[in-house]
Amino acid sequence: HEPLRDAAERQGITLGFALTPGHLNDPGYRAIAEREFNLVVAENAMKWDATEPSQGSYSWGQADQVADFAAAQDADLYGHTLVWHSQLPGWAEGITDPTRLRDAMYDHIDAVAGRYAGDVDSWDVVNEMWEQDGSRRQSVFQRVLGDGYIADALTRARQAAPDADLCLNDYSTDGINAKSTAMYDLVADLLADGVPIDCVGFQSHLIVGQVPSTYQQNLQRFADLGVDVRITELDVRMNVPASTTDLAQQARDYRAVVEACLAVDRCTGVTVWGIDDGHSWVPDVFGGQGAALPWDAQYRAKPAYTAIAEAL
Residues with active-site annotation = 233
Residue 127 touches ligand XIL, criterion: CB under 6 A:
yes
State the Cα–Cα distance between residues 136 and 69, nearest whole angstrom: 36
- Considering only 5, 33, 43, 70, the residue that binds ligand XIL (CB under 6 A) is 43
Residue 205 CB, nearest distance to ligand XIL (Å)?
Answer: 6
With CB atoms as reference, the residue minimizing the distance to ligand XIL is: 281
Which lies closer to ligand XIL via its Cβ, residue 42 or residue 161? 42
Residue 88 CB, nearest distance to ligand XIL (Å)?
Answer: 12
Contacts by 132-135 with C-beta closer than 8 Å and gap 24+? 132/172, 132/178, 132/179, 133/178, 133/179, 134/178, 134/179, 134/181, 134/182, 135/182
State the Cα–Cα distance between residues 264 and 268, nearest whole angstrom: 9
DSSP 3-state of 200:
strand
Residue 155 touches ligand XIL, criterion: CB under 6 A:
no
Residue 281 touches ligand XIL, criterion: CB under 6 A:
yes
Contact 91, 133 (CB under 8 A): no
Q: What distance lies between CA 244 and its chain's CA centroid?
A: 28
Query: What would you report as the CA-atom Rg of the chain, rounded to the nearest whole angstrom?
Result: 19
Residue 51 touches ligand XIL, criterion: CB under 6 A:
no
Which lies closer to ligand XIL via its Cβ, residue 236 or residue 311? 236
Which lies closer to ligand XIL via its Cβ, residue 44 or residue 181? 44
Residue 152 touches ligand XIL, criterion: CB under 6 A:
no
Using CB under 6 A as the binding rule, the residues of this chain from 194 to 213 that contact ligand XIL are 203
Residue 265 CB, nearest distance to ligand XIL (Å)?
Answer: 25
State the Cα–Cα distance between residues 312 and 292, nearest whole angstrom: 20
- Considering only 11, 44, 181, 289, the residue that binds ligand XIL (CB under 6 A) is 44
Number of residues lying near ligand XIL (CB under 6 A): 6
Residue 130 touches ligand XIL, criterion: CB under 6 A:
no
- Strand-pairing partners, residue 206, are 236
Which lies closer to ligand XIL via its Cβ, residue 204 or residue 268? 204
Backbone φ, ψ for residue 177 (5° rounding): -160, 180
Residue 201 CB, nearest distance to ligand XIL (Å)?
Answer: 9
The DSSP secondary structure of 127-154, one letter per residue, reads E--B-TTSSBP--HHHHHH-TTHHHHHH
State the Cα–Cα distance between residues 12 and 205, nearest whole angstrom: 24
Which lies closer to ligand XIL via its Cβ, residue 51 or residue 127? 127
**Where on the chain is the footprint of ligand XIL (CB under 6 A)?**
43-44, 127, 203, 233, 281
